[in-house]
Amino acid sequence: MTPRRKTRRVDVGGIGIGGDAPVAIQSMTSTYTYDIDATVAQIRALARAGADLVRVAVPDRRDTQALPSILEQSPCPIIADVHFHYERALEAIEAGVHKIRLNPGNIQDRGQVNRVIDACKERSIPIRVGANEGGIVERKDKDARAVEKAALDRDYHGEIVRIMSDKIEEYLRIFEARDFHDVVLSAKSIDAVITIDAYRAISERFDYPLHLGVTHAGPPETGRIRSVAALGTLLAEGIGDTIRISYAADPVYEAEDAKELLCSLGLKLRTEPELIACPTCGRIEIDLIKLVGEVRRKLADIKVPVKVAVMGCVVNGPGEAEGADVAIFAGKGKGIIYVQGEQTRTVAEADMLAALYDECVAFAARVERGEAKLHSGDVTIRPPDPLPRRDGSIPLTVSSPD
């Protein structure tokens, strides 16, 4: 992991972005903002899933009118998403939102943009500006568009990255002319590689904090691969101060996956159990996929980051479960449970879920009382005796360490 790139820091309702602040997780509601109850319910669900900040769309006056009530009930800072109508930005600022998403390119009157900037400056409200691949190629000036299109035809990848970076500099000149510096930048594409190169370019060119994202990523099944490929690469290179994973689905998945990404890279501490499981193969003699799903649902009740391993045999299981606080090795109708390397009991297949859950709850309680510590990576699991096949034969010989 490359150390985090140093950027300016902005404050969004008490959440820091940039500087030495942790990488913040964002998501966006999919409700109509004027539906206050539905919007607040989704904001709360996103916060429970790990979102530090939530963005809401405010295309209409009735949306900004709903903001005061939403802000009163929100458990986290709220960002107003503004395009085209500067009045919505001013109304959102007056309502007390904590940040504005603004696209100066969609507001032709510079005076209107300046009014928004000045209002944010007066209240110390940051503004995010960005260049999205799909919206930065010149559309109104035919001559300029022809020049850009010709360059894109020659080298689309390189030219689109250059245009995105140049467009951000153009936007920044507007803010710097008003002596406004509480700005967050983004440079999104639907293409993971373009996204990576665009953020690399602007991270070298500007010292403002960066909001990472892949735009229009698609459904979770494909969008999470595209998003993690880009965002994981950038974060590992020390680039990025806040992230949003975007799906055409319930936004709760966005927050959950963003949180898992940050935890996996060591950029966020876990606050709930971590579940690992072996891949399925022909050695498995129980419905491991079903068991893992059931364990995952049960572990949601535990609020201590216990590391739990669910293994289907003893071939690779002991090594893969090294460091687990609680582990189960399952096969031929029974399971053997370990707690920090010590075998505690053997249970029938029908009792595996309840027994594993009980051991996890008991261990978490001991951690909370200070009687036990979470794994430190040095837990050694002595392999259990081989579980026989259904025909009674022993699948392999396991040599236990002395």
Cα angle for residues 174, 230, 53 (degrees, 5° grid): 60
Sheet strand arrangement including 342-348: 274-277, 307-311, 326-331, 334-339, 342-348
pLDDT, tens only, 238-284: 999 999 999 999 999 999 999 999 999 999 998 899 998 887 777 77
pLDDT given for residue 177 in this prediction: 94
* Core vs surface per residue 371-392: b (16+ CB within 10 A) or e: ebebbeeebebebbebbeeeee
pLDDT given for residue 381 in this prediction: 60
27 or 340: which carries more pLDDT confidence?
27
Give the lowest-confidence range in 65-74, 77-86, 228-237, 319-328.
319-328
**From CA 285, how far away is CA 390, in angstroms rounded?**
8
85-106 average pLDDT score:
90
- Please check the confidence at residue 151 and state whether its pLDDT lies above 90: no
Cα angle for residues 10, 16, 21 (degrees, 5° grid): 115
- 256 and 288 in a single domain? The answer is no
Final residue before a domain boundary, out of 232, 264, 296: 264
pLDDT given for residue 385 in this prediction: 57
Cα angle for residues 28, 2, 373 (degrees, 5° grid): 80
Final residue before a domain boundary, out of 264, 283, 316: 264
Per DSSP, 285 falls in state -
Q: Which helix (H) or strand (E) holds 127?
A: strand 127-132
Total number of domains in the chain: 2
- 252 and 329 in a single domain? The answer is no
Q: How confident is the model at residue 313 (pLDDT cuts 50, 70, 90)?
A: confident
Question: Domain containing 37 — which CATH number?
Answer: 3.20.20.20
The radius of gyration of the chain's CA atoms, rounded to the nearest angstrom, is 25
pLDDT, tens only, 340-353: 888 888 898 899 99
Structure tokens at 81: 């998403």
- 254 and 283 in a single domain? The answer is no
pLDDT given for residue 263 in this prediction: 94
> What is the average pLDDT value for the chain, to the nearest integer?
88
Final residue before a domain boundary, out of 204, 239, 264: 264
Question: Domain containing 287 — which CATH number?
Answer: 3.30.413.10
- 310 and 357 in a single domain? The answer is yes
258 or 374: which carries more pLDDT confidence?
258
326-337 average pLDDT score:
86
Residue 39 lies in a domain: yes
**From CA 241, how far away is CA 150, in angstroms rounded?**
35
- 16 and 111 in a single domain? The answer is yes
pLDDT given for residue 399 in this prediction: 34
- 41 and 73 in a single domain? The answer is yes
Task: Tally DSSP H helices, then E strands, for the chain.
Answer: 12, 15
